[in-house]
Amino acid sequence: MITTDIGIIGAGPTGMFAVFEAGLLKMHCHLIDSLPQAGGQLSEIYPQKPIYDIPGYPAINAQQLVDNLSEQIAPFHPGFTLGERVETLEKQQDGTWTIGTNEGTLINCKVVVIAGGLGCFEPRKPEVDRLAEFEGKGVLYAVRNPEAFRDRNIVIAGGGDSALDWTIFLANVAKKVTLVHRGDTFRGAPDAAEKVAELARTGIIDLVLKSRVVALDGAGHLEQVTITGQNGQDQHIQADNFIPLFGLSPKLGPIENWGLKIDKSAIEVNTFDYSTNVEGIYAIGDINTYPGKLKLILCGFHEAALMAQSAFKHVYPDQRLTFKYTTVYGITELA
Ligand SMILES: Cc1cc2nc3c(=O)[nH]c(=O)nc-3n(C[C@H](O)[C@H](O)[C@H](O)COP(=O)(O)OP(=O)(O)OC[C@H]3O[C@@H](n4cnc5c(N)ncnc54)[C@H](O)[C@@H]3O)c2cc1C
What 182-185 contacts at long range (C-beta under 8 Å, 24+ apart), as own/partner pairs, is 182/210, 182/211, 182/212, 183/159, 183/209, 183/210, 184/209, 184/210, 185/159
Cβ 7 under 6 angstroms from ligand 1: no
Q: In terms of Cα–Cα distance, which of 269, 267, 257 is closest to 287?
A: 267
Distance from the alpha carbon of residue 3 to the mean position of ligand 1, in angstroms: 26
**Ligand 1, atom 17, residue with closest C-alpha:** 41
Most confident of the ranges 118-127, 205-214, 315-324: 205-214
Nearest-atom number in ligand 1 for the CA of 254 is 41
Tell me which of 41, 61, 248 to substitute to probe ligand 1's pocket, judged by most ligand atoms within 8 Å of the beta carbon.
41
Position 44 confidence tier, pLDDT thresholds 50, 70, 90: confident
Distance from the alpha carbon of residue 257 to the mean position of ligand 1, in angstroms: 21
pTM across the whole model: 0.77
Residue 181 pLDDT exceeds 80: yes
Residue 203 pLDDT exceeds 80: yes
Q: Following DSSP, what letter does each residue of 123-147 receive, concatenated? A: EPPP--BTTGGGBTTTB-SS-S-GG
Q: How far apart are CA 274 and CA 129, in angstroms?
A: 45
Q: How far apart are CA 90 and CA 96, in angstroms?
A: 9
Q: How far apart are CA 61 and CA 52, in angstroms?
A: 9
Nearest-atom number in ligand 1 for the CA of 287 is 26
Residue 27 pLDDT exceeds 90: yes
Distance from the alpha carbon of residue 56 to the mean position of ligand 1, in angstroms: 20
